[in-house]
Chain A
Amino acid sequence: MDNSRANLLEEAVGISKGGRVVVVEDCVETSGAFVLHHFLKRSLYPDTSDVVIFIAFAHPFSHYERILRKMGCNLTVHRKTHRFVFLDMLTLECPDRNGKETRQDGLLALYGEIEKAVEIYSSLEGSRTITIMIDDISLIEVAANGLSNHVLDFLHYCYTLKAKYGCSFVTLNHEDIYSSANTLPLILQPEYLADVIIKAEPLATGLASDVHGQLTVLNKGSVCDLGDSSSKVRNFHFRVKENIVDYFYPGTQT
């Protein structure tokens, strides 16, 4: 039962292939972090040799390690076998005391690290998709002291890796932060570039112990892979458990 339900998200997202951009958006009431965990686990399935580069702004390694361990995925081992790169940016401070230049340098250095890792892993043998994950874009903005254009530049550079190396992207951002017009680009720009947008929202009726919220998956159909543009939109409820997340259509929950 659980397996068929877990597929509801995967079904909506579609078959994973390289070079896909997934944007996850959540709000204060309902965290969308579990979607990130799902993609993390998905990318580290033992039957592939895909690599994940995880840029953590929100939580330290121990947090993800423990969560993924419960989901049956050992990050420590993956780290050792070079399938998982964890960049701890919790204390990344693009310093603001020495003016603008250094602030951009902080993100430049981070990008350098990412690209370096991508270059190394893509040069290894075997076909592998490198997935780049960022666990909180709004915190990059905080680190950049509110200069959202720097964040967009940084994201742009990350996206350029898609063209050359076929990297996939999964990023999390908080939709409810961006309510006023002048802050919108940071949520809209990634949406324009995204292939899949996943929104986690609370139910209109509030939270309950058996339904933790709803997911809306907007699958644009890969705009960039010409050929197919089968866009679809799905909405379903979910319940997060330690080891698995149940997805179900409203009312079909047993």
Chain B
Amino acid sequence: MASSRPRGGSFSRNISSAATTQIPGVKLGPNGTSFLSSGIPDLDQILGGGFTLGSLVMVMEDPEAPHHMLLLRNFMSQGLIHKQTLLYASPERDPRGFLGTLPSPMASKEEKSHERPAEQDANLRIAWQYKKYFGEQNSEGQRGGKAEYCNDFDLRKPLERHFYSGQRVDCISLRDSPNLAPLLERCSTFSAQIAKSDDNITCASRIAIQSLCSPQCDFSDKDWEMLSFIRSLKGMVRSSGAVAVISFPPSLVSPAFLKRWQHLADTLISVKAIPDEDKELAKLLTGYQDMLGLLSVHKVARINTQVPAILEATTFSMKLRKRRALVLECLNQAPVDGSSGSSYGTSGSCSGSSKTGNLDF
């Protein structure tokens, strides 16, 4: 199975220290943590290396745009390429159908490797304490065989079927059950499989739950049950080698509970649509034409450390490079109005208020 990996990963693995890639797709981070790739190289860098293994990532959806699906797709595809087990839950009747929409990794490596480093330096900076890791990864990439840790995905090309046809993918629909117990059970058996395999984690796995509190689920009005589920899931994920990504529409969660959800998240990300053909915005933001939407990072997982991650910028624009690969860029504002976008003023109010729209000028 390992031979079906699309690129010669073993080559670069030898270059980087042996410990970093003992488990495919897992990179060592600071404080004894490990990272999984989010499937979006830029997001990995913003977060200081990727999603921390054992963390709960929550994505606040924009009810008007499907940007969270992009994040989920890349997250899931990346896992499948790394041969990691995957559990996918969705409010759709047939969640397995979603696997057909997963993107395939970009074929032409050359293009990527010569374009990327420049862009990273120019647009993305990460928390100071991660610079060393950042540098390391960069050099790794420049050494030609950019490790398989993180792929660029071609959103227009579907993932080859053999990646998800195997045993490693588990799908469950949120719609069938009146409560969250079946999902919790699936999650616990799923994470037990990983934990069982060995004492020290030998393989990472991913859990993706789409639109947890979407109204078509029967349990969507049971606030405490959902909270309890998230808490249990967080506990499970923490003790096993997994990353769980939950996306949810924040407008459907009552405000007091929304705060609880946010507190439960290790990493908190929100995506936002941008208004179409808004002349004001077009004037204000350079590159407005290419933007799909905005992505904000509100919280970065702090496992095994007490130092908060302070990002230089918290809001990024989501763009498609060559109409294929998802990239994130720091917002470049035309120097008209300093009170918006990635300024610290809005990043301070990263919850609540900014959700309702940090673009309502």
Seen from chain A, the residues whose Cβ lies within 8 Å of a Cβ on chain B are 28-31, 33-34, 37, 59-60, 62-63, 66-67, 90-91, 93, 96, 136, 138-139, 142-143, 145-146, 174, 176-180, 183, 202-209, 212-213, 240-242, 245
Q: Which residues of B contact A212 (CB under 8 A)?
A: 308, 310
Since A96-B228, A177-B263, A207-B344 are in contact, a sample of 9 more A-B pairs with Cβ atoms closer than 8 Å, ordered by chain A residue number, is A28-B351, A29-B298, A33-B306, A66-B304, A142-B260, A145-B224, A146-B224, A202-B348, A209-B128
Which A residues touch B101, using CB under 8 A? none
- Select one of A29, A91, A93, A176 contacting B348, CB under 8 A: A29
Closest 6 CB pairs of A and B: A206-B348, A206-B344, A146-B224, A90-B235, A66-B304, A34-B306
Whole-angstrom distance between the alpha carbons of A91 and B235 in the complex? 6
Interface centre among A28, A34, A59, A93 (most CB of B within 10 A): A28
A34 to B262, CA, bound (A): 19
Q: Evaluate contact between A207 and B304: CB separation under 8 angstroms.
A: no
Q: How far is A52 from B302 in the complex, measured between Cα atoms in Å?
A: 23
Complex CA–CA separation, A31 to B259 (angstroms): 13
Instruction: Confirm or deny: B193 has a beta carbon within 8 angstroms of a beta carbon on chain A.
Output: no
B304 touches A67 (CB 8 A): yes
**Cα distance A63–B231 when bound, in Å?**
17
Q: How many residues of B contact A (CB 8 A)?
A: 44
Mark contacts of B302-314 with chain A using CB atoms, 8 A cut-off: 1 yes-contact digit, 0 otherwise.
Answer: 1111111010100
Number of A-B pairs whose CB atoms are under 8 Å?
116
Q: For B255, list chain A residues within 8 Å (CB).
A: 179-180
User: Which residues of A lie under 8 Å from residue B268 when comparing CB positions?
Assistant: 28
Contact residues in B for A178 (Cβ distance below 8 Å) = 256
Residue pair A177, B347 in contact (C-beta under 8 Å): no
Q: Cα distance A34–B307 when bound, in Å?
A: 8
Q: Does B166 contact A (CB under 8 A)?
A: no
Please state if B306 and A37 are interface contacts (CB–CB under 8 Å): yes
Q: Do B228 and A63 touch (CB < 8 A)?
A: no
B348 touches A145 (CB 8 A): no
Verify A143–B306 contact, CB threshold 8 A.
no
Answer whether A67 and B305 are a contact pair too, CB < 8 Å, given A205-B344, A205-B345.
Answer: yes
Q: Answer whether residue B272 sits at the interface, using C-beta atoms and an 8 A cutoff.
A: no
Are A143 and B308 in contact (CB-based, < 8 A)?
A: no
Task: Assess A240 versus B350: contact at CB under 8 Å? Given A174-B259, A177-B259, A208-B344.
Answer: no
A63 touches B303 (CB 8 A): yes
Q: Are A242 and B231 in contact (CB under 8 A)?
A: no
CB < 8 Å neighbour of A138 from B127, B263, B352 = B263
When chains A and B are docked, how far (Å) is the Cα of A158 from the Cα of B256? Answer: 26
Once bound together, how far apart are the Cα atoms of A60 and B260, in whole Å? Answer: 19
Q: Provide the residues of chain A in CB contact with B138, threshold 8 Å.
A: none
Interface residues of B in 231-266 (CB under 8 A from A): 231-232, 234-236, 238-239, 255-256, 259-260, 262-263
Which B residues, 106 to 158, have Cβ-Cβ distances below 8 Å to chain A?
Answer: 127-128
By the criterion CB–CB under 8 Å, are A208 and B310 in contact?
A: yes
Cα A212 to Cα B298 with chains together (Å): 14
Residues of A within 8 A of B32 (CB): 62, 66
Assess the B306–A180 pair: CB atoms within 8 A.
no
30 residue pairs from A and B, CB less than 8 Å apart: A28-B263, A29-B348, A31-B302, A31-B308, A33-B302, A33-B306, A62-B32, A63-B303, A63-B304, A67-B304, A91-B232, A91-B235, A142-B224, A142-B228, A142-B260, A145-B225, A145-B228, A146-B223, A146-B224, A177-B263, A204-B348, A205-B348, A206-B349, A207-B308, A207-B347, A207-B348, A208-B344, A209-B127, A240-B308, A242-B307
* Contact string against A for B residues 260-295, beta-carbon threshold 8 Å, 1 for contact and 0 otherwise: 101100001000000000000000000000000000
Residues of B close to A138: CB separation below 8 A: 260, 263
Bound-complex Cα distance A136 to B227 (A): 14
Q: Give the nearest-CB partner of B344 in chain A.
A: A206
B270 to chain A, nearest CB (A): 12
Q: Which residues of the partner chain A approach B238 to less than 8 Å between Cβ atoms?
A: 59-60, 90
Candidate in A63, A67, A146, A242 with the most chain B CB atoms within 10 angstroms: A63
Residues of A contacting B351 with CB < 8 Å?
Answer: 28-29, 176
A240 and B228 alpha carbons, distance in the complex (Å): 30
Residues of the A chain whose Cβ atoms lie less than 8 Å from the Cβ of B224: 142, 145-146
Are A142 and B227 closer than 8 Å at their CB atoms? yes
